Copies of this chain bind each other. A is one copy, B any other.
Amino acid sequence: MLYNISVSDMNLGDEIEGFFVLTSASRRTTAAGKTYLTGTLSDRSGSLEMVAWDYSGEIGPEDNGKVVKVRGRVSEYRSDRQFSAQRIRLADRKDEYRPEDLVPAAPIDRDAQLREIDTLIDSLHDEDYRHLAAEALRRHRESFSLIPAAKSVHHGFLGGLLMHTADMLHIADFLSGQYAEVINRDLLLCGTLLHDMAKAREFSLSPLGLAVDYSLEGQLLGHTVMGAQETAALAEELNLPKEKSVLLQHMILSHHGEPEFGAAVRPMCAEAELLHLIDMIDSRMEIYAETFTTLPSGSFSGKIFALDRKIYRPAESEKHPE
C-alpha cells in the first residue's frame, strides 16, 4: 500500500491510500441492480477517473469540489488509467492533508508578481489611469491573485489569472516601447490589467478556489460586459474624463477580437487591437506549455479543442548548454 502518492506518479496495479479532490461525482446502478459511484480524483499533479463498485454511501454530485479520502487500486479502462476505490469518505477537520498539494497552482511567486504589478501601476504617467488601475486592484486584490483564468481543470489552476495578467503586462510594457508612436502606454497597461478582472464574477468557485462552473451572470452577461460595467462605475466614481472611461470599456469589450469569439465590439483603437493580440499570444503559448507537459519531443498531440487542430513538439528543441 502506497500513501499520499501523487496522481502523476501512480502506476497500473498500485495499491494506494490518500486524499484527493472529487469532481464529476455521479451515483449509478449496474444492470444487476447494484449501486456504485463514479467521479474524478485530482491533485495538483493531474487527475484520473474513479469508480467505487458496490458503494451505497451518501457521497454524490453535491460533493463536487470537496476533498475525499480513498483507498484502492490503479487499473485500466478503455486504455486510460482508472482508480478502483475500495473505500471512500469525505475528509473532515481531523484529517491531515495539505490543500496546496491537492489543487494545481500557478508555478509563480504570487506576492512577487503582485508587487511587480504595483510597480508597473506606479509607473503610469497619466493620473487618471494610474488611480483607476490602483483602485481596481485594491478592491479585487485577493480574488485577482487567487482564481484561475479559465474553468477547465486542465487549463485552470490557482493563481492562473494573476500569472496570465502579469505575463501580458510584461509584453504590453515591452511593445509600448516598440510602438510608442501609436500606443499610449498608460492606456494599454491599464486596459491589460482590467481585461479579465470580472472573471471572479463569471465563475462559481469551489471551496478550494477552483472554477467548477459558470455563475448565472457569467452565462447571461459574460465577463467582458461585466468588466466594462464595473470599469464605467469606477471611472465615474473617480471622476475620469468621459473618453478615458469609454476607451477602457472598449478595450475590455473588444479583447476577444471578433464577435464570434465573444467580442461585444471589434477593436477600434490601437491599444485595443494590441491587447487582443497579446491575449492571443499568452493563451496560445499557455496551451502549448500545458500540452508539452505530457507530449514527448518528436511527436504529435491529439486534436486540441481550443485550436481545432493537433500540434507537433519538435524533436530538435533541446536548448544549447551554456
- Residues of A near any B CB (own CB < 8 A): 12-13, 26, 28-33, 51, 53, 73, 75-79, 82, 84, 125-126, 167, 170-171, 174-175, 178-184, 186-187, 216-217, 219-222, 224-225, 228-229, 232-233, 241-244, 246-247, 249-250, 253, 259-260, 262-266, 268-270, 273-274, 277, 280-281, 284-285, 288-289, 292, 300, 309-317, 319-320
Contact between chains at A75 and B217 (CB < 8 Å): no
Number of copies: 6
Which of B178, B182, B281 sits near A274, CB closer than 8 Å? B281
How many Å lie between the Cα of A310 and that of B75 in the bound state? 35
How many Å lie between the Cα of A268 and that of B307 in the bound state? 10
Q: Measured between C-beta atoms, what is the minimum distance from A301 to chain B in Å?
A: 9
The answer to whether A316 and B244 touch (CB under 8 A), given A31-B77, A220-B250, A250-B221, is yes
Q: Which residues of B contact A222 (CB under 8 A)?
A: 264-265
How many Å lie between the Cα of A249 and that of B229 in the bound state? 11
Given contacts A31-B84, A175-B281, A179-B285, 4 further A-B contacts (CB under 8 A): A180-B319, A184-B314, A220-B246, A243-B315
Q: Which residues of B contact A273 (CB under 8 A)?
A: 284-285, 288
